Structure 1
């Protein structure tokens, strides 16, 4: 049976106090180089594993940050997480990943758990900040940074693209390719994060070029999923019979629309052009490969994590960042 040695055993082996071993573990000084070497050698020989929670009590840090996602398994989340983890690990900390499933009670339970775990900071992704969330975050008295979302009501720094501007860019790209009969399959129109701004960007691009459009040119989907695109493209085609192009509010919607077009015998881009939004890995995998608006998701995760650690070290509020978006041209848009 393996013996779990304690800090007391290390101190006894070196013939120093427990406090001295603790100072060596936490790099606090107050001991000679020879003592440090003896303590480290004893730790190695005994195979002593310092208790992370106990060390946290000493330096008031857990060396962990948390990230809350509405959907952990999505390609959107995985790209952000990759950027976050690289930055966090570079600071010698770890990441706790929480899947809220866009569920208010689950989010609140996670925030209570994270308070108990004494995390050093929180990254909050792609959800609206409610009064309850904000109150819980405030009570924790730790830095918080939003990713791919923002709050007009609460003063929390964020890292995101300008969704309205990006949607304008996507629609304007189609206009520059000669399209004027442009429809949109949006996400949920009540979604203030990615729904409303992308709808407004589409409308503004059409208006700025003097291109007439009506509400029949837009389908308001329930969400941003493949099924939303698959279900709603046929409806849009019935409402907007001379349609030549579609701006889809997500790559998943675009993929669903491409699949629906295939079943209807509509060729992409010969008969119908499509632009997506996000530039997820599936955009390159689609047939044909999808032209889309790229969000720099990994960079957003990295920038947000670095901002969080800067706030933790300085005690100052971070400065929000609007990240650049770009059009990635592939094969789903025809030049008229």
Structure 2
């Protein structure tokens, strides 16, 4: 439970009125008291409610966004879509990070509750039952982007990861690749990890290619994960001609390690990414990748939340289409 002014007063041995004056910088106390009160407030993790003045108002015109720690370029376009749309409709945006694997999701929700946001958008954070209950208890419109739960009362917008991965691997097969590795994605991640792995394996099976589990190098969606995977392929002396990557940054990691080992992309090995984030067209060669409409996802999610705030309407879940963006990182085998 969040610390209150009363808690600070009790621990610091002063009145609640004194704590209120210190917290709100109103004067009428000495420096020693100020230091003591601020030290106790910090120790108790007290957060001042910046929107206290708006308690009598029905709306704060604020939309909250909760996302993981930003370690990839994936989130930039989604956030831009949210921010552009919010400002167009007279809303401001508060961003907070839920930590690695959503470890601080409850703290993030508490913060959003304190700031009395009108609506909430959660990006790429896997929510477990207690987090879903906490989210629902806020009593405000919300939507999940690029993630989902198994409950019908948690609306989401996302791409079908299984189908998108299948599309990418089928493209490699159509270019006569038969020995295809996969890099990145955590099989324990039921939202984006295992569906992409399953799409990869099913595409192989549907085209008569045996699945070799040694050619699947699981990990995260980061550049470092791609570098590690490619190093493992090299050490295994894997006879792959192509790699499907669980993200564009994984693909860049693959290509970086290839460069370091004088392996040519696409002449020696073909690479397909996932996301079509901004880095995909900056790579050398430019990366063929599965596009998620990231900006549009942010914009659409924000519009849904604003409509629910203003019209009290229910938000429906949507699966949005993906597409393959063909560039220069895949070679057709003869």
Q: Aligning the two structures, in what range does the TM-score lie when normalised by the shorter sequence?
A: 0.7 to 0.9
Secondary structure class of the residue paired with 1:68? strand
User: How big is each residue's C-alpha offset from its partner over 1:162-200, in whole Å with a ceiling of 9 and x where there is no partner?
Assistant: 111000000001011111111111311111111101000
Secondary structure class of the residue paired with 2:332? coil
Q: CA deviation at 1:104?
A: 4.1
From 241, 245, 250, give the equivalent of 2:242.
245
Secondary structure class of the residue paired with 2:64? strand
- Distance in 1 (CA, whole Å) between partners of 2:235 and 2:162 is 27
| Pair 1:173-2:175 in alignment | no
- Structure 2 length-normalised TM: 0.81
Secondary structure class of the residue paired with 1:146? strand
* Aligned-CA RMSD value: 1.7
Within a 5 Å distance, the mapping from 1:5-20 to structure 2 comes to none
Within a 5 Å distance, the mapping from 1:244-283 to structure 2 comes to 244-283=241-280
Q: Which residue in 2 is equivalent to 1:155?
A: 153
Q: Which residue in 1 is equivalent to 2:281?
A: 284
- Distance in 2 (CA, whole Å) between partners of 1:113 and 1:193 is 25
- Distance in 2 (CA, whole Å) between partners of 1:241 and 1:65 is 48
**How many positions carry a matched residue from both structures?**
284
Within a 5 Å distance, the mapping from 1:1-336 to structure 2 comes to 54=53, 56-72=54-70, 74-102=72-100, 104-153=102-151, 155-221=153-219, 223-239=220-236, 241-336=238-333
Point out the structure with max Rg over C-alpha.
1
- Distance in 1 (CA, whole Å) between partners of 2:213 and 2:60 is 52
Contact 2:72 2:222 (C-alpha < 8 Å) held by counterparts? no
Contact 2:184 2:226 (C-alpha < 8 Å) held by counterparts? no
Gaps (5+ residues) in structure 2? 1-49
Q: Which residue in 2 is equivalent to 1:20?
A: none
- Structure 1 length-normalised TM: 0.81
Gaps (5+ residues) in structure 1? 1-50
